[in-house]
Structure 1
Amino acid sequence: MDRYGPRIEADLHHEFGLDLLDFFRRKHSWAKLLRLLDQLPGTSKYITAQRDDDEYIEQLVAHGVNLDAKGVMTEDGYGPVESRLDNITDAINALRHVMSERPGQFHPTERPVNAIQRYRNRARLKRHHDLQDEVEAARARRRALAG
């Protein structure tokens, strides 16, 4: 509650017309709250906050949860529709770039990055460094055998 309480409160009110305080007042059970939270759409404030929380994502991965970032709206409201609009904008700008008489590097529209993507980027970078270390160790073994 400390971490996501205000977002849960807003979502309960918006989606179900319920007050979070009613759960504390024992008007509704905590089990009901958990069931309702499971029913929130991916665009809810609570779900988007979780998906943009690096620590939460690390905990999910540690527990073997498979991450899927498709269709997840970020806290700033960037979702599937905005993503498609950025793709269309990039396609138009790429076409204009190809047709222009001033060649250069094309720069796509910058997109927001969420915790899932940051986790994947860190994992990719770690795999890259691990591979570099493995290659360097193999080179050292080869030099030792040759020398």
Structure 2
Amino acid sequence: MPDPDAGADSLFEQLQAEAVGPLHLRLGDGDDPPVWTLAAVDSDGVCELDELHNPLDVVEALVGEDLADEIIDELEELPWSVTRTVAAQIREHFALADLPPGMWAHLVEQLDLYGADIESDLAEHRGADLLDWFRGRRPWPQLARFLTRLPEGSRYHAALLGDEELAREQIEAEQGDDEDGSSRRPPLVGETQGLSLLRAAVSALMRVEHAIYAAPAPKSKRGNPPRPLKGPLTAKDRLLDELGTAEVFDIFDQVTPGWRDDDEKPPAGYRESGSGLLIPDN
């Protein structure tokens, strides 16, 4: 995955600075109180909002390393209520609402990496201005939902498909998948009877092609015919697997009573598939 910090400022911070004006943070009373100007808050600090609750920690995280020491030193000389007010002031100015755990880190990462593509897609497919979220005009959870529902072929999806680091992570995750390969199946959203028939036709052509090329080859080199392309894993598929497992268990209970007493291990010669179905161990 591209490093958003490599050679450029955080795009999340750039969008903040573009969306809202700078915050002039004035601490203390008197004729000439110290003033700090925040054009944007630190994007790494925004990610930490998922875990921070103490107002002093929130201020330290959001103002960034360059200003943190000065501002914290000043706040420590002032009443605690001032620190609480400053933390609330920064969050309100930059529309940093409380979100479910992990959402800030996810949003900041996606916007740092693919913000320009997301901005174009939102304008084209949703009629929305990305800067409205930074201005507090739209709730941030809505943006998280939009990202999961941008259409295939969008700039955001193209950026994800072109991300080599993300592809490497997906490959590593798939290698650890269970045997049914459910995570490699196509999604349920968008599934139609036409797509199902197209998969069946392509699967049939694959088997015909294999048969044509395997016919003149020696038996030892023919190989196995290709498996049919898998469709989305539905709730019905999972229930059928569970029912099939239950039926097999009932048969073994009748033939070999008590075989499941040994930590629910399957009988000799059988193993459990990823879905829990007993299959021959060969």
TM-score exceeds 0.5: no
Higher relative contact order (CA 8 A, sep 6+): 1
Query: Normalization by structure 2: what TM-score?
Result: 0.23
Query: Normalization by structure 1: what TM-score?
Result: 0.42
More helix as a share of residues: 1
More strand as a share of residues: 2
